[in-house]
Structure 1
Amino acid sequence: MNTPIRRLAYVVIAMFTALLLATTWIQFVTAQDLRERPGNRRTLIDTYNRERGAILVDGTAIARSEATNTDLGWIRRYDQATRYAHVTGYWSFTYGAGLGLERARNSVLAGTDDSLFYQRLVDVVTGRPPQGASLELTLDPAVQAAAIEALGDRRGAAVALDPRTGAILALVSRPSFDPNALSSHQLTSVDEAYVQLTEDPEKPLVNRAIAGDLYPPGSTYKLVVAAAALESGEYQPDTELEGGLTYTLPGTSTTLPNFGGAACDPDGRPTLARSIQVSCNTSFAWLADQLGADELREQSARFGFGQQLEIPMSVTPSTYPEDPDDAQVALTGIGQHEVRVTPLQVAMVASAIANDGELMTPYLIEAVRNRDLEVIEETGPRTLSRSVSASTAEALTEMMVSVVEAGSGTSAQIPGMRVAGKTGTAEYGSSGGAHAWFTGFAPADDPQIAVAVIVESATDNWTGETGGLVAAPVARAMLEAGVQR
């Protein structure tokens, strides 16, 4: 064999080797990923020929598959569509599994998950048509409905948790959308609906409860600051703080006023408990400066900040700024500067306080059942962290009760029941807009439900929508529904 032929043989061998390696890689390493990509039409056609599992709330299907007479054997239907849209997401022939549980647990609903291997094997042997598994959710329909009705047409979000277990009782984001418009087999109308939703400036596809652009928590973050102060051992509820009419931010000539320009205490020395009750800005800015960024960041982490949570949808981690200067640390004391949270995170803070300082991992799926109704996966309570001591939780609870009984959160009062809560009004941007917050739990003596509500500012200019005025009534409706369940 002469040299040119030998070299050509080497090239041919190398090419065949590369081809074998590439096909092996595709078939064995990346096959699962390629198969589950939302835009894989071959997989979509295959899955449309099997019944997709239902998603259930309190035994009622909020997402189900319905047989058709078309080449696509099944169509996805969403009952009470806009009420649960951000929970279910959508299943579309054009866009695949989009948002919510349809995406997060796609393989289970489609019946292709490894946990359903034996079911698929039995189906093949018996000749039964393949079928996905169903998801039983933790949501309480009464609490979900109460949040939606109380929010009305306003932008915002609401979350409710069982503080004893971490079970999510309500998960609401507004504005919502109709998943049926995206699951239709009329592909032209599906495209039109998708374009309309993605171009809508109100961003209805964003799940504001767990993702999207995070919010400044405003004065609800004062609970974290107060927790850090109590946990340090240097402060008690009756410890006096510096809290005059204004506070000069460290290293600057900028003064921070209290809400409405009011004094927190006639002598400018409000206690920690009083500062929570009236939501005193000056005392909490001073207190944050005394505690320092490291202590506040660590306390935030104990409440779940920075955690990569899957409920099973991915939750955007809440954040405390990495390297703030002294003035910025003071501003974090009132939940401003670059402190950013999801409503779920704020509910987790209240939940941990309600549960004697123990933070439970939030979860949305109670159980997964196969076609024979056998439980193949079950979620139980799991501790995420010890946020604060039981004594600190008790002290914070009493402070939060005073907020509702005689402070900034009286709109959350429920006759015959002690309610614990905290209001917040969070500035954003540079044009004076402010969102309204409320978080709390009830009954304060035996907590069964913890909530967080944000009502976004209707305009970029604040017009008086405080947390106590617009968010607390939404929370009250949710708390009432949750306690009666």
Structure 2
Amino acid sequence: MNAALRRLSLVAFVMMLSLMVAATYIHVFAAPDLNADNRNVRTIYREYGNSRGPIIVDGESVALSTPSDDAFGYQREYPQGPLYAPVTGFYSIVFGRSAIEYTQNSVLNGTADSLFISRLEALVTGEQPRGSSVEVTISAAAQQAAWDALGDQRGAVVALDPKTGAVLAMVSKPSYDPNDLAAHDTSLVNDEYQRLLADDDSPLINRATTNRYPPGSTFKLLVAAAALESGAYDADTVIPAPDQLPLPQSSSIMGNFGGATCAPDEEMTLADALRISCNTAFGQLGMDVGADALRSTAQAFGFGTSVEIPLKTTPSVFPGELDVPQTALASIGQFDVAATPLQMALVGSAIANDGVQMSPYLVDTVRTADLDVVSQTEPSELARPISATTANTLTDMMVGVVTGGSGSAAQIRGVDVAGKTGTAQTTTDAPPHAWFVGFAPADDPEVVVAVIVENGGNLGAEATGGAVAAPIARAVMQAVIS
């Protein structure tokens, strides 16, 4: 009998110990992750009882909370919803948070460790807890210019300050209205979310940071950089530019856009090859430089690496193994090369900033409800993919692209603009994507812009990067430098 009681007591003790360990783990160690989990709607219900801080662009709230007459206490509102949706994201009682609403949640709802003093003061004074404001780096003028210029076409625009890395514009189309997902009617929110998920154009996806595209001829910037960095080439080096380039080890032949002739004598300078975007010249150049050098250069610019701005981004891709003909195709931004618009903006920013690539960032300043500064982002260096000499040479070559080459539609009166166009083939039955990467003023850059218009936009199969994407970039650059 005593033995049975001892066994029963041991079992009870083990069960109680297990419960204590589990409770301790959940309340102490797992609590932060559980509270941050988007599926934990209890956290959101609790948060709705407090005044969530605003997200601010140029002094104006693009996301804010207003008192509501229902059980939730506050309603999240987005005055210019679709315009800033890729930046703000949504704050939903059903689907949690996204974008800045997600990454800055603890400061917006006032629970961040950095706000301990503010919470303590509210407790002592009996005031209702209030979240902090998040001032983002977006320029309202640049964002509106990008939105208007992209129009009803699918694609994305990213603008950066090359000297600091601050994100000045981030537009993705088609967009969505976060107000529809912030409603307190769960049935309506569910219906809208399912509709957005079923939309073939994927409006919930931030094309600027998430989608990868073949970069087309904008990748020639990296090929030119690899050639210049090797020391064997300069802007005036004469390179082969045949009408057709037979690809070794295959029966394939590379041609130029529209079957054009790059040079009557089938050779030209590196600068001229970039100016008119000669495919065969860069296909041969890439094979001569070699796949390893191209891969090393791409990785130096950030291919293969994800950055947080603080939004998470998809890494761009340069293939790990390439044979000779694949190297030629990769050299014109085709085959399995894939890049996000943000990545190509970072390529342009390194060239614009004397070879120094600054870390991109979207959050500028966090302030308490009393406007005290909680934190402020200090610009930081991300990488040095190329030398200042190479960057300056590339800048001069890119100015030639705009003043007398494929990027003339990006010209701004009285301002030197540096740029590179791209027309990227996708599938045999789909129009090409239109690209442009550029910055201005070329001699003292204030803004770098990357534009992607999917499947040629309104011009379809007749589209080129120069005709479709360059005017969009020009509008954004003008908005920043004017």
- TM-score norm. by structure 2 comes to 0.97
Task: Classify 1:9/1:427 alpha carbon distance in 2 versus 1 (closer, same or farther; 3 Å).
Answer: same
The 8 Å contact of residues 358 and 387 in structure 1, kept in 2 or not, is answered as: yes
Equivalent position SS for 1:454: strand
- Deviation, 1:429, is 3.0
Q: Which residue of 1 aligns with 2:279?
A: 281
Q: Distance in 2 between matches of 1:480 and 1:433?
A: 29
Range 447-456 or range 305-314, more displaced? 305-314
Equivalent position SS for 2:425: strand
Q: Which residue of 2 aligns with 1:347?
A: 345
The 8 Å contact of residues 430 and 455 in structure 2, kept in 1 or not, is answered as: no
Q: Which residue of 2 aligns with 1:65?
A: 65
Deviation readout 1:367-411 (Å, 9 max, x if unpaired): 000111111111121111112111111110111111111111111
Q: Which amino acid aligns with 2:109?
A: A
Q: Pick from 276, 288, 307: which aligns with 1:309?
A: 307
The 8 Å contact of residues 433 and 461 in structure 1, kept in 2 or not, is answered as: no
The 8 Å contact of residues 432 and 461 in structure 1, kept in 2 or not, is answered as: no
The 8 Å contact of residues 139 and 169 in structure 1, kept in 2 or not, is answered as: yes
Q: Which residue of 2 aligns with 1:336?
A: 334
Q: Which residue of 1 aligns with 2:165?
A: 166
Deviation readout 1:222-246 (Å, 9 max, x if unpaired): 0011001001101111112122011
Range 459-468 or range 267-276, more displaced? 459-468
Q: Determine whether 1:366 maps to 2:364.
A: yes
Q: Which amino acid aligns with 1:93?
A: I
Q: Which residue of 1 aligns with 2:29?
A: 29
Q: Which residue of 1 aligns with 2:148?
A: 149
Equivalent position SS for 2:288: helix
Q: Distance in 2 between matches of 1:307 and 1:116?
A: 32
- Deviation, 1:185, is 1.4
Task: Classify 1:416/1:459 alpha carbon distance in 2 versus 1 (closer, same or farther; 3 Å).
Answer: closer
Q: Which residue of 1 aligns with 2:113?
A: 114
Q: Which residue of 2 aligns with 1:125?
A: 124
The 8 Å contact of residues 218 and 424 in structure 1, kept in 2 or not, is answered as: yes
Q: Which residue of 1 aligns with 2:135?
A: 136
Equivalent position SS for 2:268: coil
Task: Classify 1:288/1:458 alpha carbon distance in 2 versus 1 (closer, same or farther; 3 Å).
Answer: closer
The 8 Å contact of residues 456 and 464 in structure 2, kept in 1 or not, is answered as: no
The 8 Å contact of residues 171 and 209 in structure 1, kept in 2 or not, is answered as: yes
Count residues with an aligned counterpart.
482
Equivalent position SS for 2:24: helix
The 8 Å contact of residues 166 and 363 in structure 1, kept in 2 or not, is answered as: yes
Q: Which amino acid aligns with 1:58?
A: D
Q: Pick from 442, 445, 448: which aligns with 2:446?
A: 448
Q: Which amino acid aligns with 2:352?
A: A
- Deviation, 1:447, is 0.9
Q: Distance in 2 between matches of 1:6 and 1:293?
A: 73
Q: Which residue of 2 aligns with 1:321?
A: 319
Equivalent position SS for 1:10: helix
Q: Which residue of 2 aligns with 1:44?
A: 44
Q: Which amino acid aligns with 1:446?
A: D
Q: Which residue of 2 aligns with 1:483?
A: 481
The 8 Å contact of residues 420 and 440 in structure 1, kept in 2 or not, is answered as: yes
Q: Determine whether 1:76 maps to 2:83.
A: no
RMSD of equivalent CA atoms? 1.6
Q: Which residue of 2 aligns with 1:55?
A: 55
Q: Which residue of 1 aligns with 2:207?
A: 208
Range 217-226 or range 259-268, more displaced? 259-268
Q: Which residue of 2 aligns with 1:90?
A: 90
The 8 Å contact of residues 434 and 456 in structure 2, kept in 1 or not, is answered as: no
Range 77-86 or range 422-431, more displaced? 422-431
- Deviation, 1:361, is 0.6
Q: Which runs of 5 or more residues in structure 1 are unaligned?
A: none
Task: Classify 1:164/1:461 alpha carbon distance in 2 versus 1 (closer, same or farther; 3 Å).
Answer: closer
The 8 Å contact of residues 431 and 460 in structure 1, kept in 2 or not, is answered as: no
The 8 Å contact of residues 367 and 377 in structure 1, kept in 2 or not, is answered as: yes
Equivalent position SS for 1:356: coil
Q: Which amino acid aligns with 1:124?
A: L
The sequence identity of aligned pairs, in percent, is 50
- Deviation, 1:15, is 2.3
- Deviation, 1:307, is 2.4
The 8 Å contact of residues 163 and 355 in structure 1, kept in 2 or not, is answered as: yes
- Deviation, 1:63, is 0.3
Q: Which residue of 1 aligns with 2:247?
A: 249
- Deviation, 1:346, is 0.6
Equivalent position SS for 1:143: helix
Q: Distance in 2 between matches of 1:405 and 1:411?
A: 9
